[in-house]
Structures are given as structure tokens and as C-alpha cells.
Amino acid sequence: MTRTLIRNANVVLPGDGFASASGRVEKRNIFIDHGKIIDVDASDQVTADRVVDADGLHLLPGVVDDQVHFREPGLTHKEDLSTASHACAAGGVTTFLEMPNTKPPAITVEGVRDKERIAAQKSLVNYGFYIGATPDNAAELARATDVPGIKIFIGSSTGNLLVDEQEALERIFAETTLPICAHCEDETTVRANSERLSPTNDLTDHSRIRDEKAAMIATKRATELAVRHRHRFHVLHVSTAAELIYLQDPSPYLTAEICLHHVFFNVEDYARLGSRIQMNPSIKTAADNAGLWQALIDDVIQVIATDHAPHTLEEKSQPYPASPSGLPAVENSLALMLNEVHRGRVQLPQIAHWMSDAPARVWGITGKGRIAEGYDADLVLVDLNEERLIEDEKQHTKTRWSPWHGERLTGWPVLTLVAGQSVWSVAEGFDESARGTKPHFDHSRGGFWATAEGIGGSPV
């Protein structure tokens, strides 16, 4: 393992753990050995095999994206774990957590292990895989260990992954111990709206079918289950400001996230972007954009994720409703937020909290999410002054398109390290020999609200 010194970086250091803006930025030397951060205030004279001159640049913990769909196995014409992890590396994402709705779906422990074996061979960055809930696999979910958590589709699913009957949901919350996350859209409401508006080829009807009411009903139902059963629960991709009523009061059992498409796009953008922004949950209103952004600033929402879910442009170009929901985002998410720093809307410590520290703590990923001694050297060096244009043809995701095509952003990753190894740099490209590893998920730490001092690193 190479001993690395990152010299003269503006380092984003963690704060008190609950307030996203409490971190700080200080000029430091970071010393890395055997894939670990050994010293966050190292001497210029320390002996290193490699010295990275980071003068004028900022060093953040690598992004932990806790919601992606990387399509392998079964749907690899859209994406696979190699192309997706390349997109991660170029975007500063050093750990991803992937959803179970592949073909076959990961609804057994062995199914999860199969995906881990594929990732060990293909992924440039670290990986974890949720186990999926079905109406009748509570016993298998209870048997699962060393996975990030359980994913429930309360609406909007395929095959046997839909779980919307109350009895099945009660059983899952009562009989399992892993933290749970869910896609919250009420299936009954969605179907009733669809029947009311059918037949339709109007893409804007997608946001009328998957409306605020559908999100409200499902989020209320799931959060009530979590609190009543005292079971940790994470609300995925909150899409409406109305849902925030269920998250306003801090609870040791509840955390939540937003995805960037739900704060950067709204129904007015359908005319410009069409099915490129067709998503489940659907894009909502400008008022929802503003409400969700403020909830993030106010720490009502803890996590930013992408819900990276690529489809080919040919598939997306089909007339609605044949066009599938989902968009690629993992390689641009950090840059989109760095651009918000440039605009003066947020600060770097907030980004590190929402995109690195908080998701690591929610899912018990030890040694991740912070720049601190004993933590893994999963790091991203960024240039806050660099301008780049997002262009379809330059995307690393297999589908080679982005809903942000044509947007010019200021602030970009220039170097991504996984366990101290450079997996991508703007100067040298990808290290194709690099491989990430499966992190350790320690749910005994108690999740986000029990880990104000961080999820903890490995002994130095």
C-alpha cells in the first residue's frame, strides 16, 4: 500500500454531527497509510511514497450515495457495475448502496451475496446491496446480516417487490431488525388517478397520477409503522413539501433524504426536458422545490442521494406512458452541489454532511463519511473554480445521457481516492486495476441519531 501525503489542502472537517453547517474548513496535510487516514494535521516532512499538491483545492470525504439502481444482473443494456462505478469514481462517489429490483431481484441473502461477488470483480468503488422485501419473505429478511438494510416498495414496483398490504408491512416492521427504507407512493391512489386520467399520452399527467396525495398517504403510513414498532426507518426521495409534516419533529427512528431532481426540476420543466425527468416519485412543483431545499438547510432532511436509475434514450423516447421512469445522476451529483456553493446557497461542510457523513451513519457504514483519524481514505479533491459543461456524450454511465445536459457548472472533482488509491483523476483518467470493497455495516451503533461523533473508524 502506498503512503500518501495530501499537502496544503483546504480540508472539510466534521462538525457536531446533527447540524449540517457545523463543520469547518482548515488548511491541513492529510497522511494516508494502508488505506487509512493516519494523521489529519501531518508534518510537511512526513515520509510518503506519493505527495499530492492540493494547494488551492478542497478535500472532502468521498460521497456515499445510498440510493442507486445499477441494473446488474438482468438489465445490463442500461447499466452494469463496471460502467456505473466508473461514473461514481468520476463524480467523487466512493461508496454506493444499490437497490434490489434487478432481475432476478435480491430478495434472499444469497441473492445479495451474488451481487456482492459481481461487484468484487467489477466495481472501482465500494459497494453495498439492500435486500428487498416481498409480501412473504419476512423470515428471510430477519436472517439477513451485514447488509445496509431492507428496501420496501410501498407502491411503484415490478414483479413481487410491491408490499402494500398492511398485514405484510406490520410483519416486516415487527419481525426484522435491520433498518428499513421505502419508496413511499400509495399504490391505491396511483391506480385510481391512472384510471381517472386514462387513456393519456400527456407526460405531464405523470405528476397528476403520482401526486402529492399518493406520497402523503404512503409516507404517513410508513413513518407511523416505524414509530409504533420502534424500528429505524429512512424515507427515500421525499418529493413533496407536504410530506415534511411527518419529519418535522426529530425521532430516533426516522431519517429522510432528497434527490437532486426533486429540488432542481419541477413540472414546468416537462416542456423543456420531456421524459428525461420522468421519475417515480414524480417531479412536483416549484413550491415543493423550495420547501424541500429549505428542509435540507434546516436539517429536517438528513441525506442527499441520486436514485440513479438509467434507461436508454431509445426507451425514454417512447410516447408516454410507455416511457420508463428514471434518470442517471451519480456522476454529476457532487458537481451540482458544488455549483450551489459557487452560487452562495450552501457551504462545503453542509455538502460533506448530507452526502457523506449522514448516509454513512444512517446505514452504519463504519470508517466512512468523515475526514478523521482512523477513517478510511475515501476522499475526493475538488476545484471550486473549475468550470465544465455537462454533455451527454461525455457521460460515463452506459446510457450516455444526463438530464442536466447543456448546463455549465462551477466546481468539480479532480481526484477520487478509494482506500487511499487513486481510482480516477481529471489528469490521468481511471485506474482500471482498482477495485472497491464491501464495507462493514454495524447497525448496533444505532444509526444517525446515535452517532453524533461519527460512525467510527477502524483502529489505526
pLDDT in tens, 98-117: 999 999 999 999 999 999 99
Going 378 to 13 to 338 to 267, the CA torsion angle's sign is positive
Q: What is the pTM of this model?
A: 0.97
**pLDDT band at residue 162 under the 50/70/90 scheme:** confident
Of 373, 366, 372, 374, give the one whose Cα is nearest residue 455.
366
Across all residues in the chain, what is the average pLDDT? Answer: 96
Q: 65, 211, 307, 376: which one is catalytic?
A: 307
Task: Choose the weakest-confidence range: 151-165, 253-267, 330-344.
Answer: 151-165
**Grid coordinates belonging to 315:** 426507451
pLDDT at 66 over 90: yes
| Cis before 413 (ω within 30) | no
**pLDDT band at residue 460 under the 50/70/90 scheme:** very low
The answer to whether the CB of 412 falls within 8 A of the CB of 386 is yes
49 labelled catalytic: no
pLDDT at 459 over 60: no
Look at residue 157 in the predicted model and tell me its pLDDT.
53
317-348 CB burial, b ≥16 within 10 A, e <16: eeebbebbbbbbbbbbbbbbbbbbbeeeebbb
Long-range contacts made by residues 163-167, C-beta under 8 angstroms, separation at least 24? 163/133, 163/134, 163/135, 164/188, 165/135
Phi and psi at residue 143, to the nearest 5°: -80, -20
pLDDT at 287 over 50: yes
State the pairing for strand pair 63-68/93-98: parallel
Give the tens place of pLDDT for each residue, 421-440: 999 999 999 999 999 999 99
Residue with cell 419533529: 249
Q: Which residues contact 429 (CB under 8 A, 6 or more apart)?
A: none
Which CATH number characterizes residue 451's domain?
A: 3.20.20.140
Alpha carbons within 13 A on the beta-carbon side of 23: 31
As beta bridge partners, residue 97 has 128
Give the tens place of pLDDT for each residue, 261-283: 999 999 999 999 999 999 999 99
Cα gap 147→125, rounded to integer Å = 17
Structural domain of 406: 1-459
Going 251 to 61 to 98 to 277, the CA torsion angle's sign is positive
Going 236 to 435 to 367 to 356, the CA torsion angle's sign is negative
**Grid coordinates belonging to 302:** 438528513
Q: Structurally, how many domains does the chain consist of?
A: 1
Look at residue 68 in the predicted model and tell me its pLDDT.
98
Give the tens place of pLDDT for each residue, 358-404: 999 999 999 999 999 999 999 999 999 999 999 999 999 999 999 99
What Å distances lie between residue 115 and 180, 190, 307, CA to CA?
19, 31, 18
